[in-house]
Amino acid sequence: VSFNANEVTHVDTPQEALAASLNKFGEVNLEYMENLSETGRQELLTQLDNRIFYNPMMKNYEIKDRFIAGNVVAKVEWIENYLKDYPDDDASKKSLEALRKAIPEPISFELLDFNLGERWIPMSVYEEFAGYLFESKAHIHYTESIDEFSVSLEETNANITDKYYVKGEKRGYYGNDLLKHALHNTVPDITKTVQDEEGNDIKVRDAEAIQLADAKINEIRSAFTSWLNEQLPEFKRHLADMYNRKFNCYVRPDYDGSLQSFPFLDLKGLGIPSLYDSQKNAVWMLKMNGGGIIDHQVGTGKTLIMCIAAFEMKRLGLANKPMIIGLKSNVHDIADTFKRAYPNAKVLYPGKEDFTPEKRVGIFHDIKNNNWDCIILTHDQFGKIPQSPEIQQEIYTQEIDSIEESLAVFEQQGNEVSGWIKKGLERRKENLEAKLEKLEQDIKDRTDDVIDFRQMGIDHLYVDESHAFKNLMFNTRHARVSGLGNPEGSMKAMNMLFAIRTIQERTGRDLGATFLSGTTISNSLTELYLLFKYLRPKEMERQGITCFDGWAAVYAKKSTDFEFSVTNQVVQKERFRYFIKVPELANFYAEITDYKTAEDVGVDRPELNEQLYHIPPTPQQEIFIQKLIKFAETGDAAYIDREPLSEAEEKAQMLIATNYSNKMSLDMRLIDLEYGDNPGNKASHCAAKIAEYYYKYLDQKGTQFVFSDLSTYKPDQWNIYSEIRRKLVEDHNIPEKQIKFIQEANSDNARKELFKDMNSGRIRFLFGSTQKLGTGVNAQERAVAIHHLDIP
């Protein structure tokens, strides 16, 4: 731990002594405060009443922001038990009183929305409900390790065999079967045999039987809610109390970072008079919690928060070796900010040339063997760090066990589960087993010169643009539910999980990392669950949540709707439509999150004027749409002028149709150059709109950004960027030298010069993809318009 050279030697008040202690040690040090203020301990405690509290769990005093925070119900229960053995501890009694006052107001039974199948609800409640529903004594068990309910009924009657019965071709589904599905919030995938055009027997989904099963399962779930509402007041109070103790137990302090003095921070080097209050408070939260989520809008100072928090954690001994990772496009700005903020800090920031395969091992040794204040890498460089084989082995084994248990359950269910779901799980299991086998060999063959993440000693990870790691693996029974993302995840995200679990294993607690993003959740509710899987595994386990399905059972509502498919057929669609128990879920997120908008921070930003342009299809597009529908219906590739589909392509028929649809909507020439240009196509409309803004803001040298992800610039083939540039030059008399593509700036220096030219107005148009131009681009000073040709 390093300290300020101009160290405080005397203060006049206990409040100043507390500030000095927090700045030097990051915690309350009463002995230091006594010496500094020349004040007795009792006087200090009196003066700082309600600002610091004695924590018998830590055997030390803590500032209010740290003590009255987190799961206050668990703290109350611990101190209550402690006081049974130490009834004369007045300081702990006072702390207990403050904690009790902070407990969130209990939510009454009437305000709670219970889902059948929530894992925390006692099985005795479900057994009592099943006995009422079926008029038969029920036995219901839940096996946490495989997230599996089992249901058996002692007697058989018409409720089980008739009222709640669905007949399938191969088997029937009785009341206990449907209750099990209701508990899991799933529907059996019932099939029947039909004959194809050639007279061959084929299996298809039995839509009528599935709809009937779905209706009866929903009836069971609705009956549970009605039954709960009819129970005695004492039963309701007990269930609500259980829920409140488990979920409505978190307190997020109003973090006040104003006491921090930030030794060594060079505001003059940063060119700013002071930090935003929002930045001080965010840094304070990270120091108090040991990490979290910085969910701030773009332009509100996330980069500086990250740099200051990393240095402060190191200075105070809260982390010995923090690491920051960012996108290649803006990691240079992160390193530059860190060096300007702390010019004397010992920072490792290897360049692209330092991370070649030949030099990489040397960098890894440098990370391990030196006492860095911070290491700064790109996401890609971080991905090249070998992760601990033991951690990988542990996590892969857990995932394989989970898949094996799911397969065993599906085997018991027989024809209830689609073959493609089982095949998908089997494929994932095979892939994981292959990785596990390689890992075991790597462990045997490991030599001393291989440095992995665990050996480097990294104990806090700052992940800028953390949404890049959102595609983490998860297991679910809801394979047919739309919008959940890819359960197989990506290796990039898995690598991040390995690193965070390594840190959490070392510290023995949640977090250990800080995620920074302006878009923490963008596409699906699984992204919120996966944030918690990364950062709060122990706390979710305390709630009885061990998998996505268990989490969704508490916080999400699923619905079944009938919609038109791309071939204009009516199909059944399942979706998690919305969250329930939103206040408690929000508190669980907010406890580790600092959320700020530009307005909160006081950053003045222009108001967005968003316009959607509806462009009529060209005659060529209208004809092709009809062909595409025929292809989607029949699989006959001749409709879209392709060779017959291979066996693998047949399985991806709808993916091919979607790909063609996307290309067609942007420009027919992405399908075949023979189609040629058309004055009504998107490129022509876009060029006209760009030119309109160009001449409107000619005197101000207004600049414009143009995005397309489907057809990016490639010098040797037709692309939408080059086509629009051609139209701007030939049809609208715009100088070609004022139009640039981000792909042409192939070095950090070239990018910096390009952004400089955009901000000066020398370059007026910049084309790029969301990945290359969407992040880390500080070139907007003269921007008047942003055009998206295909919405990402």
Residue 565: its pLDDT value, please?
58
Residue 3: its pLDDT value, please?
39
Q: CB neighbours (10 Å) of residue 527?
A: 18
Short-list 251, 392, 257, CA closest to 312: 257
* Rounded distance between C-alpha atoms, residue 719 and residue 741, angstroms: 12
Q: At which residue do the structure tokens 């999400």 appear?
A: 556
* Rounded distance between C-alpha atoms, residue 285 and residue 412, angstroms: 49
Residues of the chain with CATH 3.40.50.10810: 256-388+452-605
* Rounded distance between C-alpha atoms, residue 660 and residue 654, angstroms: 10
Short-list 517, 35, 359, CA closest to 530: 517
Across the chain, which has 792 residues, the per-10-residue mean pLDDT values are: 57 91 91 93 94 95 93 96 96 97 95 94 96 95 84 93 93 94 92 85 87 94 96 97 95 91 94 95 94 91 96 93 93 94 97 86 93 96 91 84 73 56 75 81 69 94 95 84 83 94 93 92 86 96 91 88 58 79 92 91 82 92 93 89 85 86 94 93 96 97 96 90 96 96 87 93 96 85 94 66
* Rounded distance between C-alpha atoms, residue 401 and residue 696, angstroms: 63
Residues sharing a CB contact under 8 Å with residue 92, sequence separation 6 or more, in sequence order = 54, 56, 79, 82, 83, 86
* Rounded distance between C-alpha atoms, residue 51 and residue 58, angstroms: 17
Residue 392: its pLDDT value, please?
86
Residue 230: its pLDDT value, please?
96
Residue 158: its pLDDT value, please?
94
CATH superfamily entry for domain 681-792: P-loop containing nucleotide triphosphate hydrolases (3.40.50.300)
Residue 419: its pLDDT value, please?
61
Residue 566: its pLDDT value, please?
55
Distances (CA, A) of 439 to 111, 387, 388, 443, 541: 50, 11, 10, 6, 27
User: What is the DSSP code string of 432-474?
Assistant: HHHHHHHHHHHHHH--TT---HHHHT--EEEEETGGGG-----
Residues sharing a CB contact under 8 Å with residue 714, sequence separation 6 or more, in sequence order = none
What sign has the CA pseudo-torsion 336, 518, 378, 450? positive
- Structurally, what CATH architecture does the domain formed by 256-388+452-605 represent? 3-Layer(aba) Sandwich (3.40)
Runs of H (alpha helix) within 389-546: 389-413, 419-445, 453-456, 491-507, 526-535, 537-542
* Rounded distance between C-alpha atoms, residue 95 and residue 50, angstroms: 9
**Whether this model's pTM surpasses 0.85:** no
339: part of which helix (H) or strand (E)?
helix 331-341
Amino acid at site 248: N
CA 706 distance to own-chain centroid: 28
Residues of the chain with CATH 3.40.50.300: 681-792
Residue 4: its pLDDT value, please?
44
Residue 730: its pLDDT value, please?
96
